[in-house]
Amino acid sequence: MNSLLLGSIPEVPLAHWIDGFVDWLVQFTGFFNAITNFIGSINNAFQWVFDIIPIWLFIVLVIALTYYVNRDQQNWGLLIFEFLGLLLIWNLNYWRDMTQTLTLVLTSSLIALVIGIPLGILMAKSHTAEIILKPILDFMQTMPAFVYLIPAVALFGIGMVPGIVASVIFAMPPTVRMTNMGIREVPDELIEAADSFGSTEWQKLFKVELPIAKTSLMAGVNQSMMLSLSMVVIASMIGAMGLGTKVYFAVGRNDAGNGFSAGLAIVILAIILDRLTQSLTRTRRKN
Amino acid sequence: MFISIPRMGDLMSTNKSTKVEVKNLTKIFGKHINKAKELSRQGKDKSEILKETGATLGVDRANFKIYDGEIFVIMGLSGSGKSTLVRMINRLIDPTDGEILIDGENLMKMDKKELREVRRKKMSMVFQSFGLLPNRTILENAEYGLEIQGVDKDTREKKAKEALETVGITGYNDEYPDQLSGGMQQRVGLARALANDPEILLMDEAFSALDPLNRTDMQDQLLDIQERLHKTIIFISHDLNEALKIGDRIMIMKDARVIQTGTPEDILTHPADEYVEEFIENVDRSKVLTAGNVMIRPMTVNIEKAGPRLTLKMMKANEVSTAYIVNAERKLLGVVDANDVIKLVREKKGDITPIIQTKVPTTEEDTPISDLMDDISQTGIPFAVINDRKQLKGIIVRGAVLGALAGNEVSDFE
C-alpha cells in the first residue's frame, strides 16, 4: 500500500537542487577568492606570530596571561596544569600541530564573534530578525558538521580556509544566541532608566545593554570556541593542518597510541582555552 | 483632626504658573483600540471593556494641571493606571490619545531628537527598584545623565558629587550599588536624577521598596531637598499616609480614571465619592498606623562589645535611662536600667549580663497600634518591635503613639 502510494509520486530532486545551488554559487569565483584570501591572511598572521615566538617564551606568556586574568583569585592548580600540559605537548613533538590548531580555533572564533555579536544584537532588537534567524541557527547547529565540508571545498578549495569556514558555521550559533539572550534579559527598569535620561539607541546599547549582557555574551564566546575546537578533526579531512590531522591519520592507520596522544594534546589545549575565556567572563571591580 | 501645616503649594496659591498640563490623556493596551475608546465614552468601566474587547484601559481621558514648584502626588491602588500615567508624561509609554504640555510645549508633537532633549534637560525619573546600573560605581551611576549629554569628565564628576552630597551620600563614590542598602541605593537614584538639574522630577513609587524607617527618612529628606531646590515633583504612591505627608496636591485614580484632585485638606474634608471616602475612613490612624510606623530608634548596646562602663557612657550621651541589649546579630536580649549599670560600675564588675531584665513586652512591625493601645497604656517599659528572627527593629514610646494619632509624624531621633 505504502510503496504503491509513494510510487505514484516522483522523488523530490532535493539533492539535485542543492547541487544546482552550489554550482550557481561557484560562478562567483572572484568573490569567494577574495574571502579565501582574507580569511587566509588572518590565519597566516596568527600562524606567523606563533612561529616566531620561541616555545619557552610561549609557555611563559600563556602562564603570565592566566596569572593576569585571575589576578584577584589565583588558581595555582591551573597554572601548574598549563605548565606541565604545554611541556608534554612540546615533548611529544606536537608543538607546531598545536599552534596550527590554535590558529584555526582563534581565527574561526574571531570571525564567529565579529559576525555573531552584531547578529545577536539585531535579533534582540528586532522581532522579525529573531523569527528568521532562530530556525537558521538551529539548522546550522544540528546539521552534521561533515556536510559543510562538501560545499566548503567547492567554494574555498582545500586547506585551512574551508576548515575555518565550516568551523565558523558550526560554532557561531551560541555567540548569536547568548548575545540575544543577554540583551533581552536586561531588566526593564534599566532600559527605562536609560531612556528616561535621554540616551540614544547607541548609547543605550554600549552603556547599558552590552555591559549588563557581558556575562552571558562571554559564555557564548566560550561555547563557540569549544565548538570550533571540536571541529578540528573534521576539518583535517579537507586539509586543515594541526592536531586534527594527527588524529585523522591515526584513525586511518588504526594507531591507538598516536591517536590518543594527539587527542590528549587537543584536550590540554581545550582546557587552557576554556579556563582562560571563563576567567575573562567574571566581572571585575575597581576596588 | 490633622494639624495643618502650610505647604509650598498653599503659600504660592496666589501665584501659580502651570508647569505640566495634561489634556484627555488616554492609553489603551491591546487590539480593538477604537472600540475600547467608544465603550469608555459610553461610560463602561475597565473590566467591562476588557471583557468586551480584550483591550486594557490603562488611563482614560486624564485632565489635570501641575503647578511650578509643587509636589503632585498621583495616588491609587495597583492597576489604577498611575504608573502608566507617569510614564506617558516622559513618553516612556506612548499615549493612545491626548496632549501633554510642558511649559506650553506639546510633547506629543516632538520628534525623537526633541523628545530626547526634553528628557535630558527638563525631567528626570526615579524608579521603584532604583534602576541603578550594577556594573557602574555610585559616582558613575550619578554621572549617567550628564555623560550621555557629552558633558566633560571633570564637570560631570563635580555635579554628580554635589548631587550625591545633596542626598546625603558621601564616601561611597567607588562602591557598587549592591554594596549599599536599599535606602542608600534610592538616594543614589535620586542623586542621579538631580545631577541633571531637571525642572521636573518623576518619582514612580520611589520609596515603596524601602522599610518603614527608611521610607520616613526619605520622605523627610525629599521635603528638605524640595525646600532648597523648588523642583516640580510628580510622585506616584499607593500609600495614602505618604501622599498626605508629602503632597501639596493629590490626585486619586481608580481603574484608569481620575476620581479627585485637590489638596490633602480638600480630599479629607470633601471626598468626591464613596471610593475616596472609604480611603479616608481607613485613615483611622490607630488602624492604619502600625508598630513599624510609630517606632523610634532605641539606644542599643551590643553585649559582645560593651561592658558596664561603655554602656553607661553611651546612655549618658544619649540621655536615656534604659538601654536595649542586643547581641552581634541585633537579637534582643533585654533591657538594662541606668541605676543598675551605675551600681555595676561602682562595684567594678566587667559584665552586664546579671542586670539584664528579660521581661520586655514585644510586638512585630506590622501590628496595628490599635491592638497595642491597652498594653501601652498599662506598662511603663516601651514595647520592643522585633522581627521573626527576634532582631530589634525599634521601640514604641507613649509620646510617639499619641503624636502619631494626633497626626504628627514620628521622628526617629528623640
DSSP class of B407: T
Binned at pLDDT 50, 70 and 90, residue B15 comes out as low
C-alpha cell at A159: 586547506
ipTM confidence = 0.78
Burial class (CB in 10 A: 0-12, 13-18, 19+), B177: buried
Q: What was the pLDDT predicted at A243?
A: 92
**What is the phi/psi pair of residue B200, to 5°?**
-120, 135
- Are B165 and B187 in contact, with CB atoms under 8 Å apart? no
C-alpha cell at B42: 459610553
Check B148 against A190: CB less than 8 A apart.
no
Start-to-end Cα distance in chain A: 76
Name residues whose C-beta falls within 8 Å of residue B105's C-beta, 6 or more positions apart in sequence. none
Q: What was the pLDDT predicted at B399?
A: 78
- Are B87 and B27 in contact, with CB atoms under 8 Å apart? no
Q: What was the pLDDT predicted at A284?
A: 59
pLDDT in tens, B130-139: 999 999 999 9
Give the C-alpha separation, A142 to A153, whole Å. 20
Check A196 against B137: CB less than 8 A apart.
no
Look over chain A and give the mean of its residue pLDDT values, rounded to a whole number: 90
- Are B92 and B204 in contact, with CB atoms under 8 Å apart? no
C-alpha cell at A250: 591515526
pLDDT in tens, B29-79: 988 888 888 888 888 888 888 888 888 888 989 999 999 999 999 998 888
Binned at pLDDT 50, 70 and 90, residue A7 comes out as low
Give the C-alpha separation, B273 to B236, whole Å. 21
Binned at pLDDT 50, 70 and 90, residue A150 comes out as confident
Cα A250–chain centre separation: 25
Instruction: Find cell 550628564 and name the residue.
Output: B146
Q: What was the pLDDT predicted at B165?
A: 92
DSSP class of B80: S
pLDDT at A208 over 70: yes
Question: Best of A197, A207, A285, A286 to disrupt the B interface by mutation (most B CBs within 10 Å)?
Answer: A197
Nearest Cβ partner for B124 among A197, A283, A287? A197
Q: What is the mean pLDDT of residues B141-161?
A: 93
Check B147 against A207: CB less than 8 A apart.
yes
pLDDT in tens, B240-261: 888 888 889 999 999 889 999 9
- β-strands B257-262, B249-254: how paired? antiparallel
Give the C-alpha separation, A175 to A221, whole Å. 5
Check B129 against A189: CB less than 8 A apart.
yes
Looking at B282-385, list the stretches that DSSP marks H as alpha helix, in order from N- to C-terminal side: 285-288, 291-294, 308-318, 338-346, 373-378
* Tally of CB atoms within 10 A around B68: 17
Check A197 against B131: CB less than 8 A apart.
no
**Strands of B255-382, DSSP E:** 257-262, 300-302, 322-326, 332-337, 362-363
| Chain B residues whose C-beta sits inside 8 Å of any chain A C-beta | 87, 90, 92, 116-120, 123-125, 127-135, 137, 144-145, 147-149, 174-176, 192, 196, 202
B382-389 contacts at long range (C-beta below 8 A, 24 or more positions apart): B382/B298, B382/B322, B383/B291, B384/B298, B384/B324, B384/B332, B384/B360, B385/B291, B385/B292, B385/B295, B386/B332, B386/B362, B388/B364, B389/B329, B389/B331
How far does A239 lie from chain B, in Å, by closest CA? 45
Establish if A284 touches chain B: CB-CB under 8 angstroms: no
Establish if A201 touches chain B: CB-CB under 8 angstroms: no
Between positions 152 and 191 of A, the ones with CB within 8 A of B are 189-190
Rg of chain B over all Cα atoms, to the nearest angstrom: 25
pLDDT in tens, B286-332: 655 678 777 888 888 888 888 888 888 888 888 888 888 888 888 88
Q: What are the chain A neighbours of B133 within 8 Å (beta carbons)?
A: 190, 193, 207-208, 211-212
Give the C-alpha separation, A44 to A104, whole Å. 10
Question: Best of B114, B116, B186 to disrupt the A interface by mutation (most A CBs within 10 Å)?
Answer: B116
Q: Domain limits of chain A?
A: 14-281
Q: What was the pLDDT predicted at B370?
A: 73
pLDDT in tens, B345-356: 888 888 888 888
Binned at pLDDT 50, 70 and 90, residue B121 comes out as very high
pLDDT in tens, B271-298: 888 888 877 776 655 655 678 777 888 8
- Are B409 and B216 in contact, with CB atoms under 8 Å apart? yes
Q: What was the pLDDT predicted at A261?
A: 93
Q: Report the side by side order of strands in the sheet with B332-337.
A: B300-302, B322-326, B332-337
Question: What is the third-level CATH fold of A14-281?
Answer: MetI-like fold (1.10.3720)
Q: Domain limits of chain B?
A: 291-405
Q: Which helix (H) or strand (E) holds B17?
A: none
Name residues whose C-beta falls within 8 Å of residue A123's C-beta, 6 or more positions apart in sequence. A129, A130, A133, A134, A176, A179, A180
Check B174 against A214: CB less than 8 A apart.
no
- Are A243 and A94 in contact, with CB atoms under 8 Å apart? yes
Q: What was the pLDDT predicted at B267?
A: 81
Q: What was the pLDDT predicted at B414?
A: 38
- β-strands B383-386, B249-254: how paired? unpaired
* Tally of CB atoms within 10 A around B258: 23
Burial class (CB in 10 A: 0-12, 13-18, 19+), A104: buried
pTM of the model: 0.73
Question: Tell me, what amino acid is at A38?
Answer: F
CATH number of B291-405: 3.10.580.10
Sign of the CA dihedral A222, A226, A232, A238?
A: negative
Name residues whose C-beta falls within 8 Å of residue B218's C-beta, 6 or more positions apart in sequence. B183, B186, B187, B206, B207, B210
Q: Report the side by side order of strands in the sheet with B232-237.
A: B123-126, B200-204, B232-237, B71-75, B249-254, B257-262
| Residue B203: strand pairing partners | B126, B235
Cα B232–chain centre separation: 16
Q: Report the side by side order of strands in the sheet with B392-396.
A: B362-363, B383-386, B392-396
* Tally of CB atoms within 10 A around B288: 17
DSSP string, B189-251: HHHHHHHT--SEEEEESTTTTS-HHHHHHHHHHHHHHHHHH--EEEEEES-HHHHHHH-SEEE
The vertex-A156 CA angle with A151 and A157, nearest 5°, equals 95
Residue B33, CB-side half-sphere exposure with 13 Å CA sphere: 11
Burial class (CB in 10 A: 0-12, 13-18, 19+), B317: exposed
| Residue B201: strand pairing partners | B124, B233
pLDDT in tens, A216-261: 999 999 999 999 998 888 999 998 899 999 999 999 999 999 999 9
pLDDT higher at B321 or A50: A50
pLDDT in tens, B159-208: 999 999 989 888 899 999 999 988 899 999 999 999 999 999 999 999 98
Specify whether the backbone of B205 is left (phi greater than 0), alpha (psi in -120 to 50) or beta. left
Please tell me whether residue B25 adopts helix, strand or coil conformation: strand
